[in-house]
Structure 1
Amino acid sequence: MLKLFDGDISHAEFERLQQMMREDVSLRDLYLEHAAMEHVMDDLVGTQSVSSHRKILSMGSSMRRSAMRWAGIAAVALLTMGVWVGWNMISDISVRADMRFSYSSKWSVDGEAGVHSPELKVGQKLRLEYGAVELSLPKGVVGIVEGPATVELVEADLVRMVEGRGSFMVPEEGHGFAVETERMKVVDLGTAFTVVTGWGERDEVYVNQGSVEVHAADNSRLLEVGQALRVSALGELEDADYDNGQFLAKLPGSVQLVFADDFESHPYKDGEVGGGGFHAWSAVGKTSGGYFNPRGHGVYYRNKNLDDTGPSSGLLDGMKGANVGFLYSAKQVGIERKIGVLAEPGTYTLQLALGVRDNRSATYGGYTISLMSHGRVLQEIRSNEVPGPKNAFTKVVLSYDATNLPEGVSYGDPLEVRIMCNAAGAPKRCYLDFDNLQLSFMARSLEK
């Protein structure tokens, strides 16, 4: 009980304490007396220093202790009225997930990078720009999430993913654990499963062991081991091919940022367009394009945050700098370049931010993004649908499992990337705006 008021109680210890207090009236009375004493002592030493307060009460961290004490006093008031509902309020304070990252991962919690104590508390959001994290959740649940990802711990048995690929291993005592995305909710029935969201037009679920229930809009489906499902933005469910490579059984030791381009090779002024091609990129087709610095109330976009003199210095979420790249043509055109070599077995993750203009005369052209070797496509993503809202940049993600290379491709061969505008609105000239290209690599440990 002292650990509860000190704020140092573990989740398992708190669960045991709750059960004991439900069964033992005398223990509840003792709790009430102790909480009341805490309140009185707080009044008595209210004018003393924090260190003196700690000494008198023999407590630990003042901030955590204070939060726990006041939650306890609130529970006392409810218990006095005969209402047994205060425990969830207290337990939320102690619910957390320990985090362990692959070396060189880039991450932040609620916007704060590199916190000293890597733990995720209820209500906090983890932003993983690239790399991977192992989440040790309550009741023995373990999740390994690959970036780019945004994850929130909602409560002890619920995680919300805005984007990312998460592999979750749930023991028997964790049955009922759920992962929620914008489009669906996946409820565990004793499983190991993977959820992919925010990396394309559809969310995906892969069941590695056991079974899960998938709920989306008015649709539900039971998925068993070896099955997979895609979920559209409207909540439509469609079968998908199961891919064991989607499941990550062990946290990779490190992540490497292989290549990045922020398309800032020339400092253009606000609203200035430079259509003279791309630095270090080769044209595919007769490309019309280059770099430009979009204004927020100009011809292309209507968002004041794009103004270089505005509060965000001309940047929208997803952008790396004030400039962006663009392609503009009535035919399919693009750019490509060598970015490295296929080094070893593992996973390559490519992310690119795509912009959608607010201009009636501008036609969005769709995209094809390819990872290649010797001009041979290893993996690509393609869509003619608008990737996100107008006046914003939305990230698209390509993931390639390089543990089994196709015939004719070997480790040490060149690695290339290609960005194409599909010209989906032809015969009109179409645009594709893009920024912040990143390619990362992780050696993977796969469960067979």
Structure 2
Amino acid sequence: MNPRELEHHLQDLFDGRLEGESFEHLQKVLRDDPAARAAYREHLHLQHALEFRTKGVDLLNVVPMDLVVERRRRRSMRIAGLAAAAVVTIGVLVMALVAARTPQPTLTFNTAPGTDISISHALTGEDALEGLVLEPGSRLKVLNGTVELEFASGVRGIVRGPADLTLQREDLLELTNGTVWFEVPKKAVGFKVNTPDLVLTDLGTEFGIISEANFLDEVHVFDGKVEVRSRHGLKKKELLKAGQARYAGPAGRWKETPVRRDHFLDELPTKEIEPAVVSTEDSSGSQLAYADDASASDLFHGLTPVTTGWYLNNGAHPKELTDGIHGAGSNQVPGDPVQGAWTTVGATAEYHLGKGAKGLGYDLTSIQSIASWNGAGFGNQAWTVEVKPVGGDYRILHTVNYHPLSSQPLDGGGATKVVLTDKSGVLASGIESIKFTASHVAGSVGNSFVWRELDVFGGPTKRTP
């Protein structure tokens, strides 16, 4: 890379326009070429100098040392007290200048107990950064656990692993995947987050982003406003306000989804959080692969749920989720071609178990979910289950996003089965109600799926949880 090309690439990097192969190429050059690293440092120093100047601090306006000496000579005849005061003043001035010459890192971070991370920087060798800091070009992978981000601009974020992010510049973060909550002060309005599906520009707010592979990225706004733009298809823009949430549809349009603050953390945990729920996932190219697994003896069997938002076309109905019957193949039964429940994004089914014989509710030991169809990815599944203890409030137990089947109409047939258990043997205790909320399946028509069966196993709670 010649000096002119390097100059252009560095300028694009600090402007947040350098992406893809160009970004990777620049990283390689900086690792291999000491002269390129020197140029990078000059650009970085200039960038910080300009930022400080906009805040009223001129890093280039340094008092000449000969003038300082002359002033000290003129004051040498003054009384000792004034001389000492002058020395102290000069010392404070010098320290202030030194501090101004050493700008704080663009981003620092802390980790919760039990967190595993890996860091890579654009600069390597003797120029490599040290400590829990990130500068433009730095990449942070959270293998598991939780990380708190603190930007020099005042932006704060909580990252739940697994996650992969790259700092492009102080006000631009590239999020490849992960679940992140952000709080942006007024002075940092304009902060941006890019994901594979969207570009978000903050307008002074509190928001969360969920980005996962084989999943349509979500934005949840808790306070203030953000602007979101899809990176695909029609590349639609939308202004979201507090209390709104959207996911990025595959055609470049924004789709509504329920706001879920409980999907995010806004504080760094003080102790290690070990996931207790075990999700066992299985799939098959045959839509009847799990037909014999539907249960007619679980806690849900025969219960009629309170529902909202389901497709009721072609005989589909959520009451078929708990009838103990998987159902025939699609379009095989006249008058009931679906043979199951047909979801929309945000559809809910709430089941009331009651308080049990002793009034203590029920212990849940496992949950089984079966989805299947003959194409279009309708055999995949995505949902959240919440539980409500006797006299308490709902809390999220687990979220499932399992999309192994193709979304193509002709070759996306098959079935999936997900079973949730707990390492302790009990998923939840003292439960009187359970609610399921359907999420979005990437690529399927309407982001829907065909839910064949929901089984919940357990029994009455025998002692106070």
Query: Given the two structures, how large is their TM-score scaled by the length of structure 2?
Result: 0.44
More strand by share: 1
The structure number with the bigger radius of gyration is 2
Query: Given the two structures, how large is their TM-score scaled by the length of structure 1?
Result: 0.45
